[in-house]
Amino acid sequence: MVTNSDVVLREYLASNPSALEEWKESHKLKNDPRITPLGHFLRKSSVDELPQLFNVIRGHMSLVGPRPIVRDEIVRYGAYIEDYLRVRPGLTGLWQVSGRSDTSYQHRVVLDVRYVREWSLWRDIVIIFKTIPALLQSKGSY
């Protein structure tokens, strides 16, 4: 990311109403001005996720689970936040193999809650195997 990314984002959203709507909807931007060309490559190839393996090893994350969220996103989960908080976030999960950033934010919440409520070891194995083609296709990664 660029230096002063929070300022860059704020200025970009203030001058681009369509980007502001995209941000409000998904908390993501397809053309995020904060991301450097190298960062764009790392995100598109999902190489930027590799350091999260250390969090899995340290026990702060699971290999499979709901997608990690930041504090500002908690309100988007509403009453479902209790479901989300029952498990550790995952390096991969149902959201990552079900469209990634091409899904609406509300659908991401539904996928996270469904993952928690319907958890099984078999489902985790299936998600891990579905992660490989999802990463290779890079669909929905930005």
The structural domains of the chain, with segments of one domain joined by +, span 1-35, 46-137
Q: Is the pLDDT of residue 42 over 90?
A: no
Q: Is the pLDDT of residue 141 over 60?
A: no
In 10 A of CB 124, how many CB atoms? 19
Q: Is the pLDDT of residue 6 over 60?
A: yes
- Across 36-56, b (16+ Cβ under 10 Å) vs e yields eeeeeeebeebeeeeebeeeb
Ranges 25-34, 81-90, 131-140, most confident: 81-90
pLDDT band for 139, please (50, 70, 90 cuts).
Answer: low
- Give me the mean pLDDT over the 1-15 stretch: 90
Percent of the chain with pLDDT over 90: 51
Does 100 or 128 have the greater pLDDT score? Answer: 128
